[in-house]
Structure 1
């Protein structure tokens, strides 16, 4: 008697679960049966599926006729039977008809069978791989259509929805008591005032690298073990266990499962618990990768850890699922398209997650640790870990973003007008007139990020603002220039990629600046002060001044000549305080970079924007800068001998008038760039001598 390999899989699983959710949430939003339906629907893809075939229980057509079970994972199974071929066909078509009629085609059962002797290598692993290959082929689909033509192309009566699904109506909420019964039960008085209309965060996660992982497997036992661990952790039972643990730590934590099966996780949480929702996905991924690592140790395999893509969308509890389902799926697709984290200098990122919110992708990952679970401390800046972080420095970090949101909330409590700030910037950078002119665009951004609280006595407000501005400017920092050269520390760029990145980030922070839309409870402790004056000064002031100097005030030879009238780059070498105190020889320190300028106040530059008389402008500049060239040169030599900063510039009136008239250099955009440059330079000087940072 011949033995046959049979493979059965459920296709259109997500479409089916979406259909169930759509029907229940739309029509029975406040009915406690909603959670029952979701749980039963997920179980249909797993437990009931195996019972209907006969792999579990005794009522399926293949019950007691399975010689060997090769694979059993969510929505798929492979086994060997010795039944006659005609009986196999009859059984498979019978199961297909049952599912098709009960679910009206929402689920499509695919199946193949072939003789074991057809395999080149008659091994369980080869049988599984051949089964999957045949299930993907078009011939499989065509064969099923041909065998069930009459069923597929005839009209059927439409049974009641509860009968159509073939689901039980027994209550299962006692078993899964940690879940909320409906999406409306996510409401919390701490988050919202209206229990009938409030915001929720919808999270959809998907494991990456599944196909590559299974390709690496070279034994049936390992293949089966990996399949089982996925079923163990990507299921309602494990999700429920994790929710119970989260609720022990935070009784206010709530989660409403939408579905979890195969390699997909889909649920909703209150917006304030967004971080917890992402942490829950992280826990699941970490557990799976931990077991993969154990398999590597036991079987001496080299399986790579899996990663995860996550899409996040925000919706109101009453919004139809078809809207936020499509939006969150779009975010998930965007996360999947983002570059992955690659190994650098032998350092492999563990449990890496790509998280997309508003098409803004953030990365979360772990690095290898010692036995204590902590990264080994080192003073070296050239370690493999440091090289890894530098290589991926341009990727947005999830933990940094969460810290930034907490910092933003702290700043708002101190008086920072966040909503006004972000909304104003968004209006500027989306204005077509501004977007069509690079100088106008960069001026609009850089003027908007001039610090407003630098002289505030409120240190928390002052530093929070600088850190927020730093995070904004980092969105337009690039390390590789157009010519392909690498810039240490990076430079500002306002090319289209950076503009899109900035706009997404502004929209995201604008979202979280809404006091009704918080992701962290008020009781959450303020973030620890991570204010690094050197880093902030480098991004907010030095990079900004350098961009204005190189691009908006310079850029080509003639404009660089015109720039030298107002700004000149210089260096000087100050004396070492330590050397002078010892009374010994003079020890020189590293050169200090400075910008020499004219004396022009903000109010004067603003007046120039409304003046068309170039001669009058020149006279006003000359009146505030009366020094002659010879006097400036004399002072310059004296200060060089004393190792002091060079003096300001003298005003070259003749060159100014000639170039302003003949080459039309003196335009509104140029004056704006000068105004921003002068104001930032003045603030940089104030920051250097500020009592809190002068040391």
Structure 2
């Protein structure tokens, strides 16, 4: 009768993070710790081999059922009491070497000679290791070392961090993660860095699918252990450097990923199903593309292992935060874990069938879709990479400035009333046509830029049967637009955008695809010239509001018409100033006098089918009851947008 022994190494991440926090200033030690994701577990595996005489080549294949980083299951013919002594000795050595930070959970159970089914042994081992009673027994067996006083050495036990790699790929200094700008003081190393944490999805489903096939189980375990490792991450960076570009996506930048990624990443932990690293902000995009390629490679090899029966693919959820570089690693982990949780939740609930990568980046959500899927989606990661480059080019052409974009952000963040936020967004993003042909992108780049931002606030698409108009959703300002503005402003900083290059493949803000450009022109016409007016009249102004004495929407011959009283927007600006200085009676008289001068005495205005007769008595009645100026703010916007709509319509008739 044999005894099955299962050992799992736990809390390795916490141990590594503590060592990094203690040794950030020691570059040599930090270089060794980089390899710890593999080497801590590898070192422990070696200890197990020595303790149980498993280093004999002949016995290796026979006795080792599962032998991967952090988890082993093997058979032993040694007496039960001797096994218990060895497990206890092994536990205490690892506990002492790691200064009490690594926990070794273990269990042993008898196997009859006629029941040596490897999958059954693995299933039983996994079940037992999850039981709290087993862990309690381990603690009880080792209570004398667990509850004895030890003076812990603050220095890193280097024998657990034996760095065997010579490749000069990763950073070994937290200060080097900061991308300095020209104005950065030389005596300071503080600055922003990106923290990335990724987690593999569907691992449980894959393992269930091959539940009865031990050989496949072993192959998958070894595949994942090899691919999700510091070694493989290093090899992928070197490989991408040699071939000049790594991403296979047609829409992605054809930058030399290897050159960008070399000496740009500081990995904290890469093992199991976890990937956790810090990266220079200007190399963040390429590092995410690298993770995409990693999961793609894994899926390709999984198909070979599973054969035709394999239908489940792995996907990867990624969380990204931007933080200052001089913080404890556990703080980084807590911060990025929130983003990772959101990415996993969104992938599961919204994109589980069509995406292979889900990213939550500082409150923004992006996806890398499976091949052939995701066309036309606005949340594609490669699309955003190109959009940043386009925005950089627009900024260089003075279409907008970072200052103006920052002012928009500040005003939106400062204002807590969502309706006022919406008014401010509409005011900032109102069109200013240079030519009536909106298809002339070169002349109307500002229009395309404003459309790009305003389109983030449009209601989500409905099903095909529901053809009702989609309006703006003010809640999207806080949920979508503000996080996006922060991200754009960050990446538009000179020191972060210097490696983005030029957009060579596909443009989205000003579409480079002829078919898409036609559709984009239609959407710009709707979002920039009709939706703002419809939103304000239909969703904000009440049915019988004061604004609708000036302008309203009617249907005539199955067409939608806007009819308005003739007023210049400047009249409303002046009226608002008077009202804000407690001169409301003067504002009232000014509006009435203007109407009598330009509307009632003009035959042309009276006969114009697009004009509405201004009801002075009703206006005076409404005006006397209103105590604020919100209505006039809305009226200014409606008239300004309608003015631009008329310019567009007139120009289109002449084209």
Shorter-chain TM-score range: 0.7 to 0.9
Match for residue 349 of structure 1 among 342, 348, 354: 354
User: Which residue number corresponds to residue 533 of structure 1?
Assistant: 521
User: Which residue number corresponds to residue 490 of structure 2?
Assistant: 511
User: Which residue number corresponds to residue 441 of structure 1?
Assistant: 421
User: Which residue number corresponds to residue 71 of structure 1?
Assistant: 66
User: Which residue number corresponds to residue 363 of structure 2?
Assistant: 359
The CA distance in 1 between the partners of 2:498 and 2:487, in whole Å, is: 12
Number of equivalences: 616
The CA distance in 1 between the partners of 2:403 and 2:505, in whole Å, is: 22
User: Which residue number corresponds to residue 592 of structure 2?
Assistant: 618
Whether the aligned pair in 2 keeps the contact of 1:404 and 1:468 (CA below 8 Å) is no
Match for residue 446 of structure 2 among 456, 465, 475: 465
Partner deviation per Cα, 1:120-161 (whole Å, 9 max, x = no partner): x75322221221121111111100111001111111243462
Pair 1:547-2:535 in alignment: yes
Whether the aligned pair in 1 keeps the contact of 2:228 and 2:270 (CA below 8 Å) is yes
User: Which residue number corresponds to residue 326 of structure 1?
Assistant: 334
Query: Shift of residue 550 of structure 1?
Result: 0.6
Whether the aligned pair in 2 keeps the contact of 1:38 and 1:258 (CA below 8 Å) is yes
The CA distance in 1 between the partners of 2:334 and 2:351, in whole Å, is: 33
The CA distance in 1 between the partners of 2:179 and 2:231, in whole Å, is: 25
Whether the aligned pair in 2 keeps the contact of 1:480 and 1:490 (CA below 8 Å) is yes
User: Which residue number corresponds to residue 259 of structure 1?
Assistant: 269
Match for residue 82 of structure 1 among 73, 77, 82: 77
Pair 1:478-2:459 in alignment: yes
Whether the aligned pair in 1 keeps the contact of 2:575 and 2:590 (CA below 8 Å) is no
Mapping for residues 267-286 of structure 1, pairs under 5 Å: 267-286=277-296
Pair 1:499-2:478 in alignment: yes
SS of the counterpart of 1:166? Answer: helix
SS of the counterpart of 1:155? Answer: coil
User: Which residue number corresponds to residue 201 of structure 2?
Assistant: 208
Match for residue 637 of structure 2 among 658, 668, 676: 676
Whether the aligned pair in 1 keeps the contact of 2:547 and 2:631 (CA below 8 Å) is no
SS of the counterpart of 1:626? Answer: coil
The CA distance in 1 between the partners of 2:197 and 2:654, in whole Å, is: 48
Q: Report the TM-score, using the length of structure 1 for normalisation.
A: 0.80
Query: Shift of residue 572 of structure 1?
Result: 5.8
The CA distance in 1 between the partners of 2:551 and 2:412, in whole Å, is: 27
Query: Shift of residue 343 of structure 1?
Result: 7.3
Whether the aligned pair in 1 keeps the contact of 2:554 and 2:560 (CA below 8 Å) is yes
The CA distance in 2 between the partners of 1:551 and 1:256, in whole Å, is: 50
Query: Shift of residue 332 of structure 1?
Result: 1.9
User: Which residue number corresponds to residue 290 of structure 1?
Assistant: 300
Unaligned segments of structure 1, at least 5 residues: 369-384, 574-590, 637-646
Query: Shift of residue 566 of structure 1?
Result: 1.8
User: Which residue number corresponds to residue 568 of structure 1?
Assistant: 552
User: Which residue number corresponds to residue 94 of structure 2?
Assistant: 99
User: Which residue number corresponds to residue 253 of structure 2?
Assistant: none
Mapping for residues 1-400 of structure 1, pairs under 5 Å: 2-25=1-24, 27-28=25-26, 31-39=27-35, 41-54=36-49, 60-64=52-56, 67-117=62-112, 123-159=117-153, 161-163=155-157, 166-167=159-160, 172-174=164-166, 176-186=167-177, 197=189, 198-218=191-211, 219-248=213-242, 249=244, 250=256, 251-254=259-262, 255-296=265-306, 298=307, 300-340=308-348, 348-349=353-354, 352-368=356-372, 396-400=379-383
Which shows bigger deviation, 527-536 or 221-230?
Answer: 527-536
Question: Cα gap change, 1:85/1:547 in structure 2, threshold over 3 Å: closer, same or farther?
Answer: same
Whether the aligned pair in 2 keeps the contact of 1:10 and 1:110 (CA below 8 Å) is yes
The CA distance in 1 between the partners of 2:116 and 2:52, in whole Å, is: 27
SS of the counterpart of 2:322? Answer: strand
Query: Shift of residue 520 of structure 1?
Result: 4.2
Partner deviation per Cα, 1:41-66 (whole Å, 9 max, x = no partner): 22334422321111xxx565554566
User: Which residue number corresponds to residue 514 of structure 2?
Assistant: none
The CA distance in 1 between the partners of 2:468 and 2:348, in whole Å, is: 23
Whether the aligned pair in 2 keeps the contact of 1:312 and 1:355 (CA below 8 Å) is yes
Pair 1:593-2:583 in alignment: no
Question: Cα gap change, 1:511/1:133 in structure 2, threshold over 3 Å: closer, same or farther?
Answer: same
Pair 1:685-2:646 in alignment: yes
Whether the aligned pair in 2 keeps the contact of 1:202 and 1:268 (CA below 8 Å) is yes
Partner deviation per Cα, 1:524-554 (whole Å, 9 max, x = no partner): 6596341522122222332222211212233
Which shows bigger deviation, 359-368 or 237-246?
Answer: 359-368
Whether the aligned pair in 2 keeps the contact of 1:476 and 1:494 (CA below 8 Å) is yes
The CA distance in 2 between the partners of 1:694 and 1:233, in whole Å, is: 62
Query: Shift of residue 325 of structure 1?
Result: 3.6
Query: Shift of residue 455 of structure 1?
Result: 5.8
The CA distance in 1 between the partners of 2:184 and 2:441, in whole Å, is: 30
The CA distance in 2 between the partners of 1:245 and 1:457, in whole Å, is: 48
Question: Cα gap change, 1:83/1:60 in structure 2, threshold over 3 Å: closer, same or farther?
Answer: closer
Question: Cα gap change, 1:115/1:364 in structure 2, threshold over 3 Å: closer, same or farther?
Answer: same
Query: Shift of residue 274 of structure 1?
Result: 1.5
Unaligned segments of structure 2, at least 5 residues: 245-255, 512-516
Question: Cα gap change, 1:79/1:307 in structure 2, threshold over 3 Å: closer, same or farther?
Answer: same
SS of the counterpart of 1:340? Answer: helix
Which fold has the larger relative contact order, with Cα–Cα distance below 8 Å and residues 6 or more apart in sequence?
2
Whether the aligned pair in 2 keeps the contact of 1:312 and 1:331 (CA below 8 Å) is yes
User: Which residue number corresponds to residue 581 of structure 1?
Assistant: none
Question: Cα gap change, 1:44/1:623 in structure 2, threshold over 3 Å: closer, same or farther?
Answer: same
The CA distance in 1 between the partners of 2:22 and 2:173, in whole Å, is: 13
SS of the counterpart of 2:600? Answer: coil
